[in-house]
Amino acid sequence: MARVYNFSAGPAVLPEEVLSRAGSEILDYQGSGMSVMEMSHRSKVFQGIIDKAEADIRTLMGIPENYKVLFLQGGDSLLFATTFINLAPHRKADFVITGNWAKKAYQEAQILGDPNVVASSADKNFTYIPDCSDLPIREDTDYLYICQNNTIYGTQYHTLPNTKGHTLVADQSSMFLSEPVDVTKFGCIHAGVQKNVGPAGVQIVIVREDLIPDDLPGVPTMLRFKTQADKGSLYNTPNCWGIYMCGLVFQWLLENGGLAAMHEKNTEKANLLYDYLDASELFHPTVTDPESRSLMNVPFVTGDKDLDAEFVAEAAKAGLVNLKGHRTVGGMRASIYNAMPKAGVEALVNFMDGFERSHKKA
């Protein structure tokens, strides 16, 4: 069976070169006589895998030495809590709510301390990024939290908030490694890899060392960043296969020009789809402000739920799969991550054009 164009928001498409290499090594990783899925995380072979993965992501992102790179488990749903536990010594954090994930992070902080919402785009169903140039950030807050790309609603910060000297913490999951980033502007970046980097099950945390507390009385061992930071993410058995796959994707990115080249390709793909949507009489983007549009996740609707469902079904028959939108937005959503080739977006636009012509009212 031929491979489809997979527009899933996550788990999502991976580079075919990476999948092919992983397939070739699945029974015998580089002469070890075993699969990465079988080897001990304490072995020299796996130590080499995780060391190279960390070195390559540091090269890709230009991560300074005073930042730790952690390969964790538990997903964003756990990081929403552990970030607050570790980075909010005064139990205060301010949040910009631009969708479900920032809202969930805020709700976890409500359980643990005193969070505060300084801006929100809920008034228009999260279809824009609020003005963050002069936020009412509390002077004694520990950090400002954002979800930098909103997978469900298709919005993205293209200008970072003015933090007024406070630490910036960002969930970058669905835009991670899609464009260059100045890590020094953040105290902490966390990202689930299942959207743009690898298979589900690994959470990458990049955190400035001085923010990692030496002691957290009353906090369980596995909820402390220091536990894994001191042990090179090997305090306990990590997701060995997931880290290996992330490492292959890091190598693929480096071999293909790094994040600057990836950003150029992603911009080209996104413009192709947005240009069609802006000119279409049938399909309409839910994010109309170009300054708020995500390069990774593009929601769109026809305004007719039955027609939306027909489009999704017919697209799947044509090999364009996982286009159904999230229930809070409806319609369709095309996630066009790094591994989605331009040909996939062209195929989608061509199908949309044909569908529109066949449904044009006389």
Contact assessment for residue 192 and residue 173, using Cβ atoms and an 8 Å cutoff: yes
Place of tokens 């999502």: 12
Q: Is 80 helix (H, G, I), strand (E, B) or coil?
A: helix
Q: For residue 335, what are the contacts with CB-CB under 8 A and spacing of at least 6? A: 7, 8, 9, 10, 12, 151, 174, 195, 296, 297, 298, 322
What secondary structure does DSSP assign to 341-359, as a single string? -HHHHHHHHHHHHHHHHHT
Q: How far is CA 132 from CA 109, 128, 169, in A?
A: 21, 12, 14
Paired with 95 in beta bridges are: 117, 145
Question: Annotated catalytic sites, by residue?
Answer: 101, 171, 195
CA neighbor of 212 nearest in space, from 233, 235, 232, 229: 229
**Which residue ranges are tagged as binding site?**
42, 101, 151, 171, 194, 236-237
Q: How far is CA 307 from CA 144, 299, 333, in A?
A: 41, 15, 14
φ, ψ of residue 180 to 5 degrees: the values are -60, 150
